[in-house]
Structure 1
């Protein structure tokens, strides 16, 4: 079997973890007998014309491809259609999408009809979780879909296996989107914040800023008992566009924490809460307001089991277990 993964060349961007999920999937597939096809994302109108007329045919012509993994989106629906058209014209490959974001679900509902057309031209898709799958089915996506469960995470740092239970949580991400941090006022719990755009208008007894690190270095600095997966301005729920999106997506920061063996703390209405509770790798809460009390009711034995499970999941992530399992399931259709 000649299996390929199609990758857009974006380059690593300093401390920005944006492209890491795609880079990790490519790595794990290449480590497991996939071959790589790369293209550089065109920027100007001339580049786009050259891409369609010259680069795409040259990329696919003459290659014997049985299956092709395409990581969606590439942030141009028009170019995505051109890629699919070239694959269908020049190969007989089974075309599978790995979905990183559904634009019409996340932020742009006006794109639904175009995304529906694109998705239904594939031979199958790997989606984040059952809730995303159910949403897509309700929007008349008819191709086979497989639940990824959670994103893998290539983590070169030593697994943190010895943390004990303390009232400490870490939060990593773009802090400009985390307005809830400004409202934290716990008496016993401390939040350690990592990432860009920190606003120091916080309660210093509850929030400690730790700076910004590269994705491959960050987990070495995470020493807290839980990793927080939250979004928006409110302590009572995940709100706003990206807070609503959490009802359907798997935030990559969840994989960051688990790859380091750190149990997760998240909103109980987030889609990722299903994975967290089913695998006993953390807790899900309705609000962050009463976190002091919530953490007080977790026993050492309960935490030790969460920690053990998080480490087990983390080691799976480090070898690409979840993407390889999903690809195998999808290819069986």
Structure 2
């Protein structure tokens, strides 16, 4: 049997991108017939209740697991080391789906500690080929010593909402940027106005202060929208994937993380029907190029040239490819494929 550990969600974070990704994976596992080892999608408003619910979920887990079973964990997760230990004590196996690597994102772990934790798992589902290589290069072998690594490629994005036809409005001369807009991660937004020549920026989210941005007239602040609504009404020609404070490259810790990470906003833009503009050194640049769903740039200054050089036919082709990938995301195709491969490889041992 295949089981998964359900997450206990904090009420104030239920609409975050991180929660959306985890909830969608849980929904996909439900569709596959996998069994949660505890209360499904528990939501708590109180910190103490959240702690107690999480602890109960961990304590209850071994009651479900038997010899030869598989437990799927979404990482990071509290008590990860203990959970893996308990599963192996029951002669069962662990598949870990990575959402974030703490040694990059929040610097909570050293690389050595992160790999030690990953080696508690029998198989890993990681974001993309770059992360796959990083895990191998830094010593991932797996609990069983087989080093089973499966690449997800992109996060699914379940929603019944349908996007508008972007081809009919080309060119609207507008770029969409969506997400958490804290200056620490998105400082470039305050500088990009000086370099915009032939388009405007549609900004979706909370935390951006247009009044202190250069050339504020270049921004159209749309505010925060829940994913289902954003999919159905997002405006613009492209969705931008960029982090940090520099116009010419994605700098700092956020830029380094973009070199290995698969941002959830890539999936959001695809579901919105938006071709993607992404930093050429980002890990997801390869996926964008191979699937012909957008354009890779070295600098944000290059966006002006996109409107000068791209033809209507080229844009229509990108949009068609985006819709093809969007359908897969809406069906949980990437998650289903990755879990199927990981579980099959474990059964072959």
TM-score by length of 1: 0.90
Match of 1:209 in 2: 221
Give 1:172 shift.
0.4
How far does the alpha carbon of each residue in 1:172-207 deviate from its partner, in whole angstroms, 9 at most, with x for none? 011112111111231211110011111112323321
User: Structure 1 162/285 Cα, relative in aligned 2: closer, same or farther at 3 Å?
Assistant: closer
Q: Please tell me the root mean square deviation across aligned C-alpha atoms, in Å.
A: 2.5
CA distance in 1, matches of 2:101, 2:136: 13
Contact 2:81-2:120 at 8 Å conserved across structures: no
Contact 1:15-1:212 at 8 Å conserved across structures: no
Contact 2:38-2:60 at 8 Å conserved across structures: no
Match of 1:180 in 2: 188
Match of 1:25 in 2: 25
Contact 1:160-1:262 at 8 Å conserved across structures: no
Q: Secondary structure at the match of 1:228?
A: strand
Alignment of 1:113-132 (within 5 A): 113-132=112-131
CA distance in 1, matches of 2:28, 2:65: 22
How far does the alpha carbon of each residue in 1:34-72 deviate from its partner, in whole angstroms, 9 at most, with x for none? 12223679966xx67x93xx7534322254472221000
Q: 1:148 aligns with which of 152, 155, 158?
A: 152
Give 1:16 shift.
3.0
CA distance in 1, matches of 2:38, 2:218: 46
Q: 2:297 aligns with which of 285, 291, 295?
A: 285
Which of 247-256 and 217-226 deviates more?
Answer: 217-226
Structure showing the higher helix proportion among its residues:
2
Match of 1:240 in 2: 252
CA distance in 1, matches of 2:109, 2:71: 28
Match of 2:144 in 1: none
Alignment of 1:15-94 (within 5 A): 15-38=15-38, 51=55, 56-61=58-63, 63-64=65-66, 66-74=69-77, 76=78, 79-89=79-89, 91-94=90-93
Match of 1:261 in 2: 273
Which of 23-32 and 156-165 deviates more?
Answer: 156-165
How far does the alpha carbon of each residue in 1:264-297 deviate from its partner, in whole angstroms, 9 at most, with x for none? 1110000010000000000000001132122221
Match of 2:137 in 1: 138
User: Structure 1 38/242 Cα, relative in aligned 2: closer, same or farther at 3 Å?
Assistant: farther
Unaligned 5+ segments in structure 2 are 142-146
Q: 1:160 aligns with which of 150, 164, 167?
A: 164
CA distance in 2, matches of 1:55, 1:11: 15
Contact 2:176-2:238 at 8 Å conserved across structures: yes
Contact 2:102-2:108 at 8 Å conserved across structures: yes
Contact 1:226-1:265 at 8 Å conserved across structures: yes
Match of 1:231 in 2: 243
Contact 1:10-1:19 at 8 Å conserved across structures: yes
CA distance in 2, matches of 1:288, 1:183: 10
Contact 1:126-1:145 at 8 Å conserved across structures: yes
Q: Secondary structure at the match of 2:277?
A: strand
Contact 1:68-1:96 at 8 Å conserved across structures: yes
CA distance in 1, matches of 2:268, 2:20: 10
